[in-house]
C-alpha cells in the first residue's frame, strides 16, 4: 500500500553520512521545494486513516495535527522523495498535504536512561557529579510501584514522540522489556545498552566469575528482551520465525537491538570493559561508555583521590585498588575501547590531546549539554571537537539529570553557546539525524531516501528560520 505526504520544503539529507570535515558539517543542507514523500507499508491509528483519505487533504490546522499524521506513517518505508509534479503522475496514491512546513528526518537520541524516568525532579542538581549520585542512589534502589514506573515510561515516550524521535539509545540494567514496550507503543525504535558495572562478577549460576567472562556481564533482565521479540511490531523489525539462539558469550538469547556497554572507566573493571567491547565487535554491535564526564573522574583516574574516590571506596572498589594514573581518554585508548565502533558519551573534560585522540580514532562522541549543565560538570568543547573532525551526535541523558527529553532543546543548548564555542544549525541538524544514526549503527534511519524507514520530523520554526526554509 502506498500513501504520500506533501510539504512545502523537504530536507532529506539523502546520501549524507557523518562528516569528519567541518566544511561539510557546517554547510547548508540541500532544501527541496514543494516535494512529496511516498511511503509504502502498514499504517496505524487516526493518523494512518487521515493519510488514507481520498484525494488531497487540507493542510492540518496546527503542528499537533501534522505530528499525528507523521506518527501514523512510522510503520512504513520510504518509496520515493519527489517533486509534487512528478507525484501527480502516480494514479490512486492518497496524499496528505502538511502545508507550509519543512520536513526533515526523524531525530536520533543516542543516549538516555529511560529506566530513571520516574526520578524526574527528585535528584540534587547544580552541585556537581558526586552530590548528584549520592541523591540518586537511594532513589534508584528504592522499591517503586510498577504502575509508577510504567506511567513515567509512558510520559517519557510521549516526550520523545513529541519532538519526532525516530530512535533512542537507552542504557539499561533493570527493565529493558518495559522500556521497549513503551517505545514500541510510541512507534520509536530502541537500541538497548546493557550496562556493565562493578569489579565483582558472578556466573548465571551464582558462582564467582572472572571479569573477562562475558556471560557474567549480562544483566539477567536482558533475557526479557529476547522473550519479548514475538511482540515486536513491523515499526521495528519483523518477528522472528523461531526463537533466537543464544549469542556467543551470553547466558541467554540476546535481542538483535541489544549490546553490552561499560558504565565508566572508574566504576567498571578494565578487563570487563575490554571484554564487553570485544563482544560488541564480534557481534557487530555498538559499544557505549560514559567518558570524561566530570572533574571528579579526571581526579580519581589520575591521582586515586577526591570525592569520587571516597564514594567508590564504600561500595565499588576492590581491596588494593590502584588508579591508572592517566586521563580518561588516553586510558580508554590504552584499553582498546576507542574506535569507530564505540559511542563515547559526554566527553566534557577534554584537553587538546584528548580531542585529537577522539577524532583520530573515529570514535563517535555523544554530547549531552543540558544534563552536563544541570549537574554542573562543565561544558563539552563541541566546536573544537567538530573542527578536529570528531564524529558527533546528541543525547538527552535521563530525566533524573535533565528537564525533558526534547532533542531539539539539546541542539539549542549548543547553538546558543558563546561565539567560537557554538555549533551552527546546519551542523546540529546533521548531529540530530545522520550523525546519530551512524553512531548507533542504524542504516535504516537518519535520512529520507528510498528504503529508509518513514521516521520523519517537522523542523521547528527557529531552525527553519536559521536554515532559510521559512518563506
Q: Which tens digit of pLDDT belongs to each residue from 147-184?
A: 999 999 999 999 999 999 999 999 999 999 999 999 99
The pTM of the full predicted model, rounded to 2 decimals, is 0.95
Rg of the chain, C-alpha, whole Å = 22
Average pLDDT over residues 193-214: 95
The tens digit of pLDDT for each residue in 73-106 reads: 888 999 999 999 999 888 889 999 999 999 999 9
Integer distance in angstroms from the first to the last C-alpha of the chain?
Answer: 34
The tens digit of pLDDT for each residue in 232-276 reads: 643 444 444 344 556 789 999 999 999 999 999 999 999 999 999
Residue 56 CA, distance from chain mean position: 35
Which pLDDT score, from 0 to 100, does residue 231 have? 67
| Angstrom distance (rounded) from CA 280 to CA 261 | 9
pLDDT band at 68 (very low <50, low <70, confident <90, very high): confident
DSSP-derived secondary structure letter, 264: E
Cell of 161: 514522540
Q: Cell match 521545494: residue?
A: 33
For residue 130, is pLDDT > 70?
yes
Please, which residues bridge with residue 342 across strands? 287
Q: Domain spans of the chain?
A: 2-106+457-464, 107-445
Which pLDDT score, from 0 to 100, does residue 45 have? 53
What homologous superfamily is domain 107-445 in, according to CATH? Metal-dependent hydrolases (3.20.20.140)
User: Cβ(197)–Cβ(169) under 8 Å?
Assistant: no
Which pLDDT score, from 0 to 100, does residue 457 have? 97
| Angstrom distance (rounded) from CA 58 to CA 73 | 18
The tens digit of pLDDT for each residue in 416-427 reads: 999 999 999 999
- Average of per-residue pLDDT values in the chain: 92
User: Cβ(127)–Cβ(376) under 8 Å?
Assistant: yes
Amino acid at each position: 500500500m502506498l500513501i504520500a505526504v506533501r510539504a512545502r520544503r523537504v530536507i532529506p539529507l539523502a546520501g549524507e553520512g557523518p562528516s569528519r570535515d567541518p566544511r561539510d558539517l557546517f554547510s547548508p543542507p540541500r532544501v527541496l521545494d514543494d516535494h512529496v514523500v511516498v511511503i509504502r507499508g502498514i499504517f496505524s491509528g487516526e493518523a494512518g486513516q487521515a493519510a488514507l483519505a481520498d484525494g488531497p487533504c487540507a493542510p492540518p490546522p496546527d503542528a499537533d495535527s501534522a505530528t499525528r499524521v507523521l506518527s501514523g506513517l512510522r510503520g512504513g518505508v520510504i518509496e520515493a522523495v519527489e517533486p509534487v509534479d512528478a507525484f501527480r503522475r502516480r494514479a490512486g496514491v492518497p496524499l496528505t498535504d502538511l502545508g507550509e512546513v519543512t520536513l526533515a528526518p526523524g531525530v536520533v537520541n543516542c543516549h538516555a536512561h529511560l529506566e530513571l524516568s520516574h526520578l524526574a525532579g527528585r535528584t540534587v542538581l547544580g552541585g556537581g557529579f558526586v552530590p548528584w549520585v549520592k541523591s540518586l542512589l537511594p532513589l534508584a534502589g528504592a522499591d517503586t510501584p510498577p504502575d509508577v514506573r510504567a506511567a513515567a515510561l509512558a510520559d517519557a515516550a510521549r516526550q520523545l514522540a513529541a519532538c519526532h524521535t525516530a530512535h533512542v539509545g537507552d542504557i539499561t540494567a533493570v527493565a529493558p522489556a518495559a522500556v521497549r514496550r513503551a517505545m514500541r507503543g510510541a512507534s520509536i525504535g530502541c537500541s538497548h545498552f546493557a550496562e556493565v558495572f562493578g569489579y565483582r562478577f558472578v556466573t548465571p549460576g551464582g558462582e564467582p566469575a572472572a571479569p573477562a567472562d562475558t556471560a557474567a556481564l549480562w544483566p539477567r533482565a536482558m533475557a526479557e528482551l529476547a522473550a519479548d521479540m514475538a511482540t515486536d511490531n513491523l515499526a521495528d523489525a519483523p518477528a522472528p520465525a523461531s526463537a533466537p539462539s543464544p549469542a556467543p558469550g551470553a547466558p541467554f538469547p540476546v535481542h538483535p537491538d541489544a549490546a553490552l556497554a561499560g558504565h565508566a572507566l572508574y566504576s567498571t573493571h578494565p578487563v570487563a570493559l575490554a571484554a564487553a567491547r570485544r563482544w560488541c565487535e564480534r557481534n557487530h554491535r555498538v559499544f557505549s561508555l560514559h567518558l570524561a564526564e566530570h572533574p571528579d573522574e579526571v581526579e580519581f583516574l589520575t591521582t586515586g583521590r577526591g570525592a569520587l574516590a571516597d564514594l567508590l571506596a564504600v561500595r565499588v572498589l576492590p581491596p588494593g585498588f590502584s588508579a591508572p594514573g592517566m586521563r580518561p581518554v588516553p586510558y580508554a585508548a590504552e584499553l582498546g575501547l576507542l574506535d569507530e565502533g564505540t559511542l563515547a558519551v559526554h566527553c566534557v573534560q577534554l584537553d587538546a590531546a584528548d580531542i585529537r585522540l577522539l577524532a583520530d580514532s573515529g570514535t563517535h562522541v555523544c554530547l549531552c549539554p543540558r544534563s552536563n549543565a544541570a549537574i554542573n560538570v562543565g561544558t563539552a568543547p563541541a566546536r573544537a571537537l567538530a573542527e578536529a573532525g570528531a564524529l558527533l551526535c546528541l543525547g538527552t541523558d535521563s530525566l533524573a539529570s535533565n528537564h525533558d527529553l526534547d532533542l531539539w532543546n539539546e541542539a539549542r543548548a549548543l547553538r546558543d553557546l558563546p561565539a567560537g564555542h557554538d555549533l551552527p544549525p546546519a551542523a546540529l541538524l546533521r548531529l540530530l539525524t545522520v550523525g546519530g544514526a551512524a553512531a548507533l549503527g542504524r542504516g535504516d534511519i537518519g535520512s529520507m531516501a528510498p528504503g529508509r524507514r518513514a521516521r520523519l520530523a517537522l523542523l521547528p520554526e527557529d531552525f527553519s528560520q536559521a536554515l532559510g526554509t521559512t518563506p
